Structure 1
């Protein structure tokens, strides 16, 4: 994608395919969801319950889920945060060592597992010109809905070990956006609310251009003068403006807030379907799925492709819609998949399967998923069989999987899309579809699908089966280097891995496989350097034992010193459960 700051040259203009004169990119082109409801009630009703709709809302009595009664608090790093509501709205107060700061709550983020909050400083020791008084950013504590408790936010910035985490009670005198706080409207809102796509093409053109099904040319001067005339100097053409003036206009577009200039707060119909006002008013029977505008053109290397352009519901166009938000950069495992969620399309695109597949082959975009994935394992298998019919027969499937039919090992996704991805409160499936014999994962002692189920088995047990079943070969020196001691259960090794993402999968694998014999090892995960790992370990251990750790006084966000005494009590409790479980003995090579 190329964004033109100057007027487009005549020499190449005639070579491009116009997408206009119809426009579905400006805010004025979009329809209100209530208008869509008249003809699409089923989809509207499903969307109305979808977390997408509530991804970002103005803070109100209806939208705020957290307990702002003033009766709940969180003690963290020697400070206390309290949460109140008044006639002026909701607020968050942080106090430590006789110093306090009050933050207003202006917007909400999320509604399914956690709810985070956006606001700004309204009272504190900082001077009035301090930037945190004047910019809305993600506030330091969120509400864990299922547990009905306040917790520190995670993944607003890079997730790091405790000793490197920001201290929310310590505010820098010269705070910098993107380092000391994160302006919500600049860093987050583009995906959490619905903006006109023309605005997004300027706000996030590298990402949108990368995943576009066509090579795009977009006129910034033409679009801004058309869609935001208040931002374009009256009577000026692009070559009349300096680089600083053009950069200032781009910055002004980047600062547009959803509450004032967006199509809607949260994700609404137009986020995927674009501007449908003409269609909703009966002036267009079949609206295009692809962006259209007099200011947007498509370039093709040959005339044949130019003649065959489609603005309809093509697989590449459908996928580009999801890619607008579900892409980005994350830490990766050895095979290239992300370690935590939200960039599912980036992962899927690395999969050989995704040369033909689309997101909507598995996901119904209007219907909410709910707390857990609703499809059965058989339905998931059926999704795979659409493209892999050679495994549809029972005989072929069993020959391929070497597992009994309908067992966990016979399910496509358990082997090819295992739960490697850190979700919001549970491990979820990676969207990079790959083979369980991947040497980059196995040789580096990163999670493999076999030992995620067979958590009690050592690596040589796994290698023997992969060799016998699939003729897989691995570098034995790499295996010997990565697995020490080589004879121990692989999942126990993952618990002690140098990468926090692998430790997270190790704990989850032991819990899912019912490994009560490993409770002593799992207790170590409650003391992990990474707060998210401790949170997931607490959830898993409580699930595995059927006992709450609350009575022990353990809180996953405690400092290391604060955790010491509660962990003694936790280990005593877990040993009572583990005493009747048999720890697996060493298994040699066959």
Structure 2
């Protein structure tokens, strides 16, 4: 055994990421774990490929193991193919062309972002960028844009690096929701001091796993740079959810040619017909918190060559290479969590302390912690559908791929019909109000990602005790931004017999939203600035007092928080316009923000101690400064 290598390869699998890994040419008797690809590739790559060699700019589209591609489905399933074609799943990765790029690239021209210049050019249907290329040691070069990842909230562009099948990531990304270009580091909640080198090979090693169909990463050999990644198709296509189509197509072709043939064993998967857990496992292959665990050299090579072996209809816990990571109390002693946590930890931002998910894209992992899943029939397909064939509804459906009425209480009442009759006796809010909406109380916005907050898929009930134990905001205080934790605890005690926990003076006297915003860590502040701009919360809590705290958010040290706060500031009815950009350096922001702070501090408002407004109607600066001096400055990197 001393001469054999034991490999353990650990990686996070999600809609955004699978992890990076280590390759060694010769096995050694040691355990190697999770070495980033950037540690194997020099920051500045001086060696260039031979000019005589033909370079393939993108990973190869190459189908095997029965995969045929989505075009093979269109002939017999035109309506389903059309509705899939409208989805954001299809456009998770696309080739760069006139249909897939924003106007600022189509029209060409110079883009300047944070002191860096990028000039976009069009030549026929090809697009290029002139940039100081970090892959080439900063030389100013013209590079062809070849791939784009994402099309819903933001787009990441990949350009021809000069290395075979190994595109490089453009340093700026297009923020669709804000209709602007931003540095890619600003799109994530990450410490301002955290450097980000070029990411040559990132699409191959990470993005491909959940942004393409049948990915086979095939990393470079020792001493080389170029990857040999293969995919059946870019984007999330029909076969990602229905399985390889070759036997299905061939069987039906033979049946059509000779109707007398006996029925064949059709391997294609109709997710609607799967058992409840397997329906969700199909989604969990990308929307779950997974580790890829490879035990030996032989398995390592098989994984690199053939990719994940999970297929729709499989049980994810039985799939080769995949290990589901759960962080709830009963799973914290498992090998999977211990290995995962040793590399990533809480501050990497995947889990709240009680095991609930903290970052976007892993809704499967959130859902399976819910009693509705564990003790009931809840699955991803209880609310979501991958096809909306009514074209009049496709625009709304496209956003979250929800079934009709699944944004309403119907989503919960389909399994819990008795609560409809209870009305306000259960919710203690007017039946027509946002406070009576099931999801606002049981699926609050405690997940962060893509520069916004989203609903938790761990269905739970509001609890001040849980907030104290985990730091996660509760549903009541995310809506009633002007209420203290004590007020919430008293209501929950009266309405639902919850015990009132022991609270500090600040928790009794200061609105929970302000308390967490002023004293919390960056992840908590990000959730609060999103809550400050949530329309139901503004309607429940008023908006005049919010101006100061959104201005403070616009001065945060984290780029992402400043961007979110600026967006929120413009939702206020009396927001004034001033010369501000979240990318401005601190000194410039100070000159711009100073007068805005003074305008708010001089404005008299209705006294409200919980909102730090004193009896004279002005913000209590000493109290505010005392709270800010308690801020948690732990560096936070939420790995989406």
Deviation at 1:460, TM superposition (A): 0.9
Query: Which residue does the alignment assign to 2:245?
Result: 276
Deviation at 1:566, TM superposition (A): 2.7
Cα distance in structure 2, aligned partners of 1:278 and 1:376: 33
Deviation at 1:63, TM superposition (A): 2.1
Deviation at 1:102, TM superposition (A): 5.1
Native 8 Å contact 2:130 2:140 kept in 1: no
Native 8 Å contact 1:56 1:107 kept in 2: yes
Unaligned runs of 5+ in 2: 1-7, 9-61, 255-262, 291-348, 389-393, 612-640
Native 8 Å contact 2:94 2:235 kept in 1: yes
1:429 matches 2:468 = no
Query: Which residue does the alignment assign to 1:162?
Result: 192
1:331 matches 2:350 = yes
What do the CA deviations read for 1:508-558 (whole angstroms, capped 9, x no partner)? Answer: 222222222121122100111221111111111111237585xx3322233
Q: 1:74 aligns with which of 112, 125, 130?
A: 112
1:83 matches 2:113 = no
Q: 2:101 aligns with which of 41, 64, 85?
A: 64
Query: Which residue does the alignment assign to 2:584?
Result: 558
TM-score, normalized by length of structure 2? 0.64
Deviation at 1:249, TM superposition (A): 10
Cα distance in structure 2, aligned partners of 1:93 and 1:416: 48
Distance 1:194-1:353 versus aligned 2 partners, 3 A rule = same
1:42 matches 2:61 = no
Query: Which residue does the alignment assign to 2:440?
Result: 414
Cα distance in structure 1, aligned partners of 2:579 and 2:111: 15
Distance 1:537-1:35 versus aligned 2 partners, 3 A rule = same
Cα distance in structure 2, aligned partners of 1:559 and 1:146: 23
Q: 1:266 aligns with which of 213, 231, 235?
A: 235
Native 8 Å contact 1:26 1:275 kept in 2: no
Query: Which residue does the alignment assign to 1:105?
Result: 145
Distance 1:553-1:376 versus aligned 2 partners, 3 A rule = farther
Deviation at 1:181, TM superposition (A): 5.0
What do the CA deviations read for 1:259-312 (whole angstroms, capped 9, x no partner)? Answer: xx3221111100100112232340576734669xxxxxxxxxxxxxxxxxx996
Native 8 Å contact 1:458 1:490 kept in 2: yes
Distance 1:429-1:465 versus aligned 2 partners, 3 A rule = same
Deviation at 1:333, TM superposition (A): 2.6
Cα distance in structure 1, aligned partners of 2:146 and 2:584: 28
Native 8 Å contact 2:462 2:475 kept in 1: yes
Native 8 Å contact 1:90 1:105 kept in 2: yes
Query: Which residue does the alignment assign to 2:517?
Result: 495
Query: Which residue does the alignment assign to 2:609?
Result: 585
Native 8 Å contact 2:451 2:560 kept in 1: no
Distance 1:384-1:471 versus aligned 2 partners, 3 A rule = same
Cα distance in structure 1, aligned partners of 2:471 and 2:70: 49
Query: Which residue does the alignment assign to 2:476?
Result: 450
Cα distance in structure 2, aligned partners of 1:99 and 1:255: 23
1:117 matches 2:157 = yes
Query: Which residue does the alignment assign to 2:364?
Result: 345
Query: Which residue does the alignment assign to 1:184?
Result: 203
Native 8 Å contact 1:194 1:267 kept in 2: yes
**Which stretch of the first structure deviates more once superposed, 31-40 or 467-476?**
31-40
Cα distance in structure 2, aligned partners of 1:119 and 1:569: 43
Cα distance in structure 2, aligned partners of 1:370 and 1:311: 19
Native 8 Å contact 1:288 1:311 kept in 2: no
Deviation at 1:101, TM superposition (A): 5.6
Paired residues, number:
464
Native 8 Å contact 2:159 2:169 kept in 1: yes
Summarize the alignment of residues 188-227 of structure 1 with structure 2, pairs less than 5 Å apart: 188-195=207-214
Distance 1:519-1:83 versus aligned 2 partners, 3 A rule = same
Distance 1:285-1:312 versus aligned 2 partners, 3 A rule = farther
1:27 matches 2:64 = yes
Cα distance in structure 1, aligned partners of 2:442 and 2:432: 16
Query: Which residue does the alignment assign to 1:472?
Result: 498
Cα distance in structure 1, aligned partners of 2:147 and 2:532: 38
1:54 matches 2:91 = yes
SS of the residue 2:460 aligns to: coil
SS of the residue 2:565 aligns to: helix
Unaligned runs of 5+ in 1: 4-24, 123-131, 172-179, 204-230, 232-246, 292-309
Distance 1:318-1:444 versus aligned 2 partners, 3 A rule = closer
SS of the residue 1:331 aligns to: coil
Cα distance in structure 1, aligned partners of 2:608 and 2:268: 56
TM-score, normalized by length of structure 1? 0.69
**Which stretch of the first structure deviates more once superposed, 327-336 or 54-63?**
327-336
What do the CA deviations read for 1:417-440 (whole angstroms, capped 9, x no partner)? Answer: 011222434322111111212623
Deviation at 1:397, TM superposition (A): 3.7
Native 8 Å contact 1:31 1:275 kept in 2: yes
Cα distance in structure 2, aligned partners of 1:535 and 1:154: 12
Query: Which residue does the alignment assign to 1:508?
Result: 530
Cα distance in structure 2, aligned partners of 1:366 and 1:251: 46
Cα distance in structure 1, aligned partners of 2:509 and 2:172: 43
Deviation at 1:354, TM superposition (A): 1.6
Native 8 Å contact 1:276 1:287 kept in 2: no
SS of the residue 1:462 aligns to: helix
Cα distance in structure 2, aligned partners of 1:548 and 1:120: 44
Q: 2:379 aligns with which of 347, 353, 358?
A: 358
Cα distance in structure 1, aligned partners of 2:406 and 2:69: 38
Native 8 Å contact 2:287 2:362 kept in 1: yes
Query: Which residue does the alignment assign to 2:180?
Result: 149
Deviation at 1:98, TM superposition (A): 9.6
Query: Which residue does the alignment assign to 1:216?
Result: none
1:387 matches 2:394 = no
